[in-house]
Amino acid sequence: DTLKNNPQAKASFEKIINVIITNASDGDQIIDEIRSYSRQEGDRQYTLVGLKEALDKTLRMLYIQINKFQNIDISINIAADVPPVFASAIGLQNIFVNMFNNAYDSIQEMKEYIKSHPELGLNNYKGRIAVSITCAKGNVNIHLVDNGMGMTVDIAKKLFTPHYTTKASSDKRKEIKLSGGTGIGLYTIRFLVKEYGGTVKLVKTGHLEGAEFLIQIPVPKNGEKEV
């Protein structure tokens, strides 16, 4: 009855339901796609995918987690000359989802650290995630920067190792499996990016200094067709 008498609430509810349905469907596709990586190269189907479209859909998928991101400033900057890349649309969305979730987790860890260390004087801290996408030197460059917890050099060296995670339940970071994080997010990102002929690297980080990641995917050559 509440929804029937409130068209705005009904519209919002229907939007959330549609996103959940789409998200569930995309989740199945992501699982199928990851399974398909064991197939031969010729069986894979990549098409020209626009980065803006992939990022927009990712943000819609994250809409159902609106309470999760509502206290974080998110900025998106996509240069006008960024071309589409050869990839899987679902794969690109998976990359963005993992990147956003990793940044969110780092920001939450930073908040907890600040609570237990009032001497830092960071009571007004607010999480920030910035994404910029540009094109230069034959590559589409995706920068993602957060002002979260950051990490030490030793931890950074193990970032792309399967099942290694920095997400722990205590202040001391440690190597854990299936506790506070599965440790497959960044490994999955690197795997997918390599499938598209690209690279991913941690540009800079430090304890309490956030992190900056750079993903580079090659620009399709003139006349290149779907594969």
Q: Find the domain containing 69 and state its range.
A: 7-218
Residue 225 lies inside a defined structural domain of this protein: no
- Closest Cα partner for 193 from 110, 71, 84, 86? 86
Domain assignment present for residue 156? The answer is: yes
Query: Is the pLDDT at 210 greater than 90, yes or no?
Result: yes
Position 151 in a domain: yes
Number of domains composing the chain: 1
Compute the distance between CA of residue 52 and CA of residue 78 in angstroms, rounded to an integer: 7
Residue 178 pLDDT class (50, 70, 90 cuts): very low
Domain membership flag for residue 224: no
Residue 51 maps to a domain: yes
Flag whether 150 is in a domain: yes
Per-residue pLDDT tens digits for 43-86: 457 899 999 999 998 888 786 665 678 789 999 999 999 999 99
15 pLDDT above the threshold of 80: no
Mean pLDDT, the chain, whole residue set: 77
- Residue 124 identity (one-letter amino acid): N
Q: What is the CATH number of the domain that holds 190?
A: 3.30.565.10
Rounded-to-integer distance, Cα 59 and Cα 65, Å: 10
What is the predicted pLDDT for the residue at 166?
A: 57
Q: Rank 80-84, 89-93, 165-169, 189-193 by mean pLDDT and report only the highest.
A: 80-84
Residue 106 included in any domain = yes
Closest by CA to 227, choosing from 91, 94, 89, 88, is 88
Residue 226: inside a domain: no
Instruction: Please state the pTM of the whole predicted model.
Output: 0.73
pLDDT digits (tens, 9 = 90+) for 126-176: 999 999 999 999 999 999 999 999 998 888 888 877 655 555 544 444 332
What does the pLDDT read at residue 95?
Answer: 93
pLDDT at 173: 42
